[in-house]
Amino acid sequence: MNVLQELFADILERKQNPSAESYTNYLFTKGEDKILKKIGEETTEVVIAAKNNDKDELIYEVADLAYHCLVLLAEKGLTVADVEKELERRRGKLSKVGDRKEIENL
């Protein structure tokens, strides 16, 4: 398992076995709107870090965003494997990286 899969397994574990100290559990308890709000905030922080050309901050904020996106997948009953499958499908179908027309037609 890679680190994203391991993190996702931790998140699912929190969903199945709630713990009072868990931030992940706090998000599940608050529900979808709270998770979406956090994704909005973290996305803004990614943009600010990039515009400031602050690479350490960018890594930190992308990690925060990735975590909150995984919580959203779990909330929706999806898995990190679903996203991996979609990315693999694109790799198989696209002849050139960044070919926007092909991406739109997938």
Ligand X SMILES: N=c1c2ncn([C@@H]3O[C@H](COP(=O)(O)OP(=O)(O)OP(=O)(O)O)[C@@H](O)[C@H]3O)c2ncn1[C@@H]1O[C@H](COP(=O)(O)O)[C@@H](O)[C@H]1O
Interface residues with ligand X (CB under 6 A) are 7, 10-11, 14, 22-24, 41, 64, 67
Least distance in Å: CB of 28 to ligand X? 9
Residue nearest ligand X, Cβ-based: 24
CA distances from 73 to 3, 26, 32, 67 (A): 16, 16, 10, 10
Least distance in Å: CB of 58 to ligand X? 15
CA distances from 91 to 23, 66, 86 (A): 34, 21, 9
Least distance in Å: CB of 2 to ligand X? 13
What kind and span of H or E run contains 30?
Answer: helix 23-30
Nearer to ligand X, 36 or 81 (CB): 36
